[in-house]
């Protein structure tokens, strides 16, 4: 039995308390300054208002003011903040990391390194640590399809723990797996992390079809929807994801698996990422769409912007052609406020027949 601190009491961070508690670990759920109401509710009644469940036995809530006590003597930290909170997490946790306590991150996203190239989030987090901890914290990350509410409901879930240290991954998987939380491991950290971030970007694109159907008044008189278009967007997303995973140094063979199409499939079943895509597909401008979803973390929009900003450099280096990644570029245009037609004819390498 170990002591584990989860830092960040949002959906996914909190949901990790279930397999941890079910395995008998002492779990400390530490909220950030954004989670004060959640922690107050957990303290008063054990009720997690976002997950709409009582915390399992063996989980103790801590407010951010109690961080010291929450981290005292822990064997593992689960880093459960959103991508917007990574800098905060590095600053807050950094001085308390000694190179021995491993950190398992559930955050999905991509960042830029100092030269403007794409950087996976664990490396970005590491670069933000204080000098004495940098490069010394044993890091791992979670990928694969996992809706937090289902994990907390103990529904069957298959995920991937990724990191560069295979022994650490085995140790972490051994600590967390249950009869409903099935864990595979991968030392392709770059590939798994790229998939996790890119699926958010691309599911926004798949959501466009939903909005375009709404814009024409829904199904036609014979019931025809726009699933063919959604499926073409899904396929191009998988195609481009394989290319981008390769560019980030990962193995494109991850895409037909849990971290790639598995995670993209589950994300396309509903939720805020699909919703913003639907709003944009309906014809709303980016500012209107963001306004409708005010207060919601939109890692999809961030990921699209971060990837698009890094493309010119890849072209200059000769690693990417200008006609590649047409869907990602189109998504970049949309979130920059410039609408237009989905460039279907450029999909799949543009090998479409165009004869009249």
Given candidates 16, 103, 152, 198, which one binds a copy of itself under the rule CB under 8 A? 152
Enter the tokens of residue 18. Answer: 């279930």
- Pairing type for strands 53-54 and 47-48 reads antiparallel
Reported residue count of the chain is 356
In the complex, least distance from residue 169 CB atom to a copy of itself, rounded to whole angstroms: 8
Site stretch for a copy of itself (CB under 8 A), options 61-69, 91-99, 121-129, 255-263:
255-263
Q: Does the footprint of a copy of itself cover residue 258 (CB under 8 A)?
A: yes
> Helices marked H in 140-185 — which ranges?
148-152, 166-176
List Cβ neighbours of 62 (8 Å cut-off, separation of 6 or more). Answer: 5, 28, 29, 30, 31, 39, 69, 70
Site size toward a copy of itself, by CB under 8 A: 69
Q: Does the footprint of a copy of itself cover residue 197 (CB under 8 A)?
A: no
Cβ pair 145, 266 in contact under 8 A: yes
Q: Does the footprint of a copy of itself cover residue 328 (CB under 8 A)?
A: no
- CA-closest candidate to residue 171, choices 181, 180, 179, 161: 161
In the complex, least distance from residue 113 CB atom to a copy of itself, rounded to whole angstroms: 27
Q: Does the footprint of a copy of itself cover residue 348 (CB under 8 A)?
A: yes
* Burial 294-328, CB ≥16 within 10 A → b, else e: eeebbbbbbbbbbbbebbeebeeeeebeeebbbbb
Site stretch for a copy of itself (CB under 8 A), options 6-14, 37-45, 93-101, 145-153:
145-153
Q: Is the dihedral of CA 240, 243, 249, 254 positive or negative?
A: positive
Contact letters for a copy of itself, residues 165-184 (x by CB under 8 A):
----xx--xx--x----xxx
Given candidates 26, 123, 150, 251, which one binds a copy of itself under the rule CB under 8 A? 150
Contact letters for a copy of itself, residues 261-280 (x by CB under 8 A):
xxx-xx-xx-----------
Given candidates 99, 228, 321, 336, which one binds a copy of itself under the rule CB under 8 A? 228
* Burial 92-126, CB ≥16 within 10 A → b, else e: bbbeebeeebbbbbbbbbbbeeeeeebbbbbebbb
Q: Does the footprint of a copy of itself cover residue 227 (CB under 8 A)?
A: yes
267 to 3, 5, 90, 146, 300: CA distances (angstroms): 31, 27, 27, 9, 11
Q: Residue 157 forms beta bridges with which residues?
A: 181
In the complex, least distance from residue 131 CB atom to a copy of itself, rounded to whole angstroms: 34
Cβ pair 49, 38 in contact under 8 A: yes
Q: Does the footprint of a copy of itself cover residue 323 (CB under 8 A)?
A: no
In the complex, least distance from residue 95 CB atom to a copy of itself, rounded to whole angstroms: 32
Q: Does the footprint of a copy of itself cover residue 194 (CB under 8 A)?
A: no
User: Among residues 73 and 340, whose Cβ is nearest to a copy of itself?
Assistant: 340
Q: Does the footprint of a copy of itself cover residue 88 (CB under 8 A)?
A: no
Q: Is 30 helix (H, G, I), strand (E, B) or coil?
A: strand
User: Among residues 119 and 300, whose Cβ is nearest to a copy of itself?
Assistant: 300
In the complex, least distance from residue 219 CB atom to a copy of itself, rounded to whole angstroms: 9
Q: Does the footprint of a copy of itself cover residue 17 (CB under 8 A)?
A: no
Enter the tokens of residue 254. Answer: 């991850």
User: Among residues 71 and 325, whose Cβ is nearest to a copy of itself?
Assistant: 325
User: Among residues 67 and 238, whose Cβ is nearest to a copy of itself?
Assistant: 238
- CA-closest candidate to residue 111, choices 96, 95, 89: 89
Contact footprint for a copy of itself (CB under 8 A): 51-53, 144-147, 149-153, 155-158, 169-170, 173-174, 177, 182-185, 220-232, 234-235, 238-239, 241-242, 252-253, 255-258, 260-263, 265-266, 268-269, 342, 344-345, 347-348, 351-356
């Amino acid at each position: 039995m170990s002591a584990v601190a989860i830092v960040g009491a949002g959906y996914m961070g909190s949901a990790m308390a279930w397999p941890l508690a079910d395995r008998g670990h002492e779990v400390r759920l530490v909220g950030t300054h954004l989670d004060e109401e959640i922690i107050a509710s957990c303290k008063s009644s054990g009720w997690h208002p976002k997950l709409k469940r009582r915390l399992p036995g063996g989980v103790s809530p801590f407010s951010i003011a109690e961080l010291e006590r929450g981290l005292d003597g822990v064997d593992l930290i689960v880093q459960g903040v959103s991508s917007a909170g990574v800098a905060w997490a590095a600053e807050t946790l950094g001085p308390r990391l000694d190179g021995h306590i491993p950190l398992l991150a559930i955050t999905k996203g991509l960042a830029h390194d100092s030269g403007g190239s794409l950087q996976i989030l664990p490396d970005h987090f590491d670069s933000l640590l204080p000098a004495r901890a940098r490069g010394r914290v044993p890091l791992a990350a979670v990928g694969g399809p996992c809706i937090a509410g289902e994990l907390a409901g103990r529904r069957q879930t298959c995920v991937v723990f990724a990191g560069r240290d295979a022994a650490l991954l085995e140790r972490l998987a051994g600590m967390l797996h249950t009869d409903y939380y099935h864990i595979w491991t991968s030392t392709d950290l770059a590939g798994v992390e790229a998939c996790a971030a890119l699926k958010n970007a691309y599911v926004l694109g798949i959501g466009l079809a939903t909005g375009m159907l709404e814009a024409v008044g829904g199904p036609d008189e014979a019931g025809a929807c726009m699933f063919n278009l959604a499926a073409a967007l899904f396929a191009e997303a998988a195609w481009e994801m394989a290319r981008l995973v390769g560019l980030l140094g990962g193995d494109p063979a991850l895409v037909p698996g849990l971290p790639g199409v598995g995670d993209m499939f589950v994300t396309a079943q509903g939720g805020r990422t699909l919703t913003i895509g639907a709003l944009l597909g309906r014809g709303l401008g980016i500012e209107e769409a963001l306004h409708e979803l005010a207060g919601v973390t939109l890692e999809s929009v961030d990921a699209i912007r971060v990837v698009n900003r890094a493309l010119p450099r890849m072209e200059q280096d000769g690693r990417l052609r200008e006609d590649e990644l047409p869907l990602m570029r189109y998504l970049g245009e949309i979130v920059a406020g410039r609408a237009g037609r989905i460039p279907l004819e450029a999909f799949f390498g543009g090998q479409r027949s165009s004869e009249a």
